[in-house]
Copies of this chain bind each other. A is one copy, B any other.
Amino acid sequence: MDEAAYILKAIANETRLKAIERLRHEEEMTVSELMKELNCEQSLLSHHLTDMRAKGILGFRKEGKNSYYSLRLKEIANILDCIAKCKCN
């Protein structure tokens, strides 16, 4: 329950959820790509991504100028589906 709260806190944020939702359908994405798609400022997005990465939620790969982020815990995306169902009530 402890760890559940830890994970939920790490994703309970609009920008973070958007990133997760986006990464769910993509193998990996660069920060720039995410910036454009989420319409989020560079530094802010970087903070969010860095933190989720530190918490094991996102995967990471650096190549040249770019950083590639991916959804490491694929199951996390299912949470979004659960909530989508809740909303239908």
A13 an interface residue at 8 Å Cβ cutoff? yes
Roughly how many angstroms separate A76 CA and B78 CA in the complex, as a whole number?
Answer: 12
Closest B residue by C-beta to A78: B82
- Which residue of B8, B21, B87, B89 is within 8 Å of A8 (Cβ)? B8
Roughly how many angstroms separate A2 CA and B15 CA in the complex, as a whole number?
Answer: 9
Report A50-89 residues with CB < 8 Å from chain B CB. 73, 75-76, 78-80, 82-87, 89
A48 to chain B, nearest CB (A): 12
Chain A window 35-59, contacts with chain B (Cβ cutoff 8 Å), 1 for yes, 0 for no? 0000000000000000000000000
A11 to chain B, nearest CB (A): 7
